[in-house]
Amino acid sequence: MTNQTPATNEHPLDMIIFGGGGDLAARKLLPALYMAHTHCNLPADTRIFAIGRKDWTREDYLKNFMEQQSRSFIDAKAFDANSWDKFLALFDYVRVDVENPADFKRLAEAVRSGSQRVFYLSTSPELFTMICNNLDSAGIVDANSRVVLEKPLGHDLASARAINDDVGRHFKEEQIYRIDHYLGKETVQNLMVLRFGNAIFGPLWQAPYIKSVQITVSETVGVGSRAGFYDHTGALRDMVQNHLLQLLCIVAMEPPVSLDPDAVRDEKLKVLKSLRPMSVADIARDTVRGQYTTGAVGGEAVKGYLEEANVPADSRVETFVALRAHINNWRWANVPFFLRTGKRLQNRRSEIVIDFADLPFSIIPDGPRHYGNRLTITLQPEESIQLQMMAKEPGSGMYMQPVTLNLDLQQAMQQRRAEAYERLLIDVIRGRLTHFMRRDELEAAWTWVEPILNGWKELGDKPRGYTAGTFGPATLSALMARENLAWAKEN
Ligand code: BG6
């Protein structure tokens, strides 16, 4: 690491995107940067260097990639030709073979001296070490540089540690932005405001006032063209280890002393460390693995996972996982957390459901007493917060009916909502680490997840088939029914 004077935010920004010709860049990063540019959230004098292996000129990149592959991912209503032209003008393309140090010398000549550098590593994590070594040897990592690491960060605890060690040789922890795009979602950030900006929830946000918590991320998409990656990953690594556990942390953490990155991350870490380790018997009882089979989603026939391109015919990789987790601390003693996520399910829906405890005693003799208060925080497709309450049914008699207090956030606040990547990229540029994972958090998440992977292996567990377009394997409901509980809306 060279020791230059740290640049301030007024210094020109050089954003260097490894994987600049990749799928994530096309779908998410470039559209997010375009929106940030259009809304004047990129520093003046920004330059963006797309790094790829293809032997392209700058013009080839603008035409073949930005125009033809990325532009269509920008919301048509937000697109402005003039702004797009100015955006294109920020770009350069540098062909780099990451194994070739000489290519990094060329990159070093392209970036500006004294600039604030952000290296975005949107490549396979196996390349992170080599990229960081070569960047540093080329003399372009300084005390002011930042590096963004895309998930998946490792395949297990050992590989995650190795990546963290290697990257940590070149960048200090406060220079490292481990991205989990769920932390950039508006409603996820809003969950912190809901919990810590409203006094009424504080006293109730714990056992025994909460009976159970459900976290669902259900997708309608299949594996698409990502089988090469997905078939070595599966739903537990792809979604639970990061996105779902991060959501669980935000639901379960103690109030941090402030919104400072370490204050928030210290509290999330405590939750991850309090997750009750699962024994093989727990894994057999409290996890459900599934794999989609041929079916129909949204009225369209779709292939089963095993028929998808590049998936081995005998693959045992799970495309669905549900499990029951427990947090061993005072606040959450005996409150089950049910997590589920899967591909090719009936609906695209991400939500957190908090079920409050039953009435200790009911003086109202009529009506369905089993309805409790339920807080539902929907992250997507729409953003809303709903609180189910009991109210008297009009008329004579004392009948209760559940009614819903419905906070439609889009309606209540009509400002533009930035996509998660846009918000997180702006955070990186402004040096705000609160919504990024710290090394110890990531490793604590792997520490809890890895025994589940091993347990499945030990049990010789084969994922159960579920028809595409349904809610998942039939055994899913048993996971909750055993405790006299049921999944919300059964989705
Ligand atoms: C990614 C996973 O991290 O998140 C994908 O790798 C998944 O498999 C995606 O489809 C879901 O993100 P979102 O924002 O569409 O819910």
pLDDT band (50, 70, 90) for residue 85:
very high
Residue 203: inside a domain: yes
- 242 Cα nearest atom in ligand 1: 3
pLDDT band (50, 70, 90) for residue 409:
confident
Residue 428: inside a domain: no
Domain shared by 295 and 404, yes or no: yes
pLDDT for 98: 96
pLDDT over 50 (residue 248)? yes
Residue identified by tokens 């204050």 is 263
pLDDT band (50, 70, 90) for residue 4:
very low
**Separation of CA 197 and ligand 1 centre (Å):** 29
Which helix or strand (DSSP H or E) is residue 454 part of?
A: helix 439-458
pLDDT for 2: 44
Residue 346: inside a domain: yes
Residue 276: inside a domain: yes
**Average pLDDT over the chain, rounded to whole?**
93
Domain shared by 136 and 220, yes or no: no
Q: Measuring from atom 9 of ligand 1, which residue has the nearest CA?
A: 239
- The torsion angles phi and psi of 168, rounded to 5 degrees, stand at -65, -15
Ligand 1, CB cutoff 6 Å, lining residues: 151, 219, 221, 238, 350
Residue 99: inside a domain: yes
Q: What is the CATH number of the domain that holds 329?
A: 3.30.360.10
pLDDT for 400: 83
Residue 47: inside a domain: yes
* Total domains present in the chain: 2
User: Which domain, by its residues, includes 363?
Assistant: 183-418+439-481
Domain shared by 80 and 200, yes or no: no
Per-residue pLDDT reduced to its tens digit, 15-48 = 999 999 999 999 999 999 999 999 999 998 999 9
Task: Tell me if residue 243 is catalytic.
Answer: yes
**Separation of CA 107 and ligand 1 centre (Å):** 31
Lowest mean pLDDT, pick from 360-364, 419-423, 487-491: 487-491
Question: In 10 A of CB 321, how many CB atoms?
Answer: 26
pLDDT band (50, 70, 90) for residue 363:
confident
Pocket test for ligand 1, best of 182, 215, 239, 297 (most atoms within 8 A of CB): 239
- Are the beta carbons of 17 and 48 closer than 8 angstroms? yes
Q: What is the CATH number of the domain that holds 124?
A: 3.40.50.720
Domain shared by 144 and 195, yes or no: no
- 185 Cα nearest atom in ligand 1: 14
Six-digit token pair at 28?
């998410």
Q: Give this prediction's pTM.
A: 0.94
Domain shared by 55 and 204, yes or no: no
Q: Measuring from atom 6 of ligand 1, which residue has the nearest CA?
A: 238
Domain shared by 121 and 238, yes or no: no
Residue 5: inside a domain: no
pLDDT over 80 (residue 146)? yes
Catalytic member of 37, 170, 243, 435: 243
- Are the beta carbons of 14 and 60 closer than 8 angstroms? no
447: nearest Cα among 214, 205, 232, 157: 157
Residue 489: inside a domain: no
Domain shared by 130 and 268, yes or no: no
Domain shared by 105 and 204, yes or no: no
What's the whole-number mean pLDDT along residues 122-138? 95
Domain shared by 325 and 469, yes or no: yes
pLDDT over 60 (residue 7)? no
- Whole-angstrom CA distances from 361 to 198, 364, 369, 485 are 27, 9, 10, 19
Domain shared by 135 and 189, yes or no: no
Domain shared by 236 and 125, yes or no: no
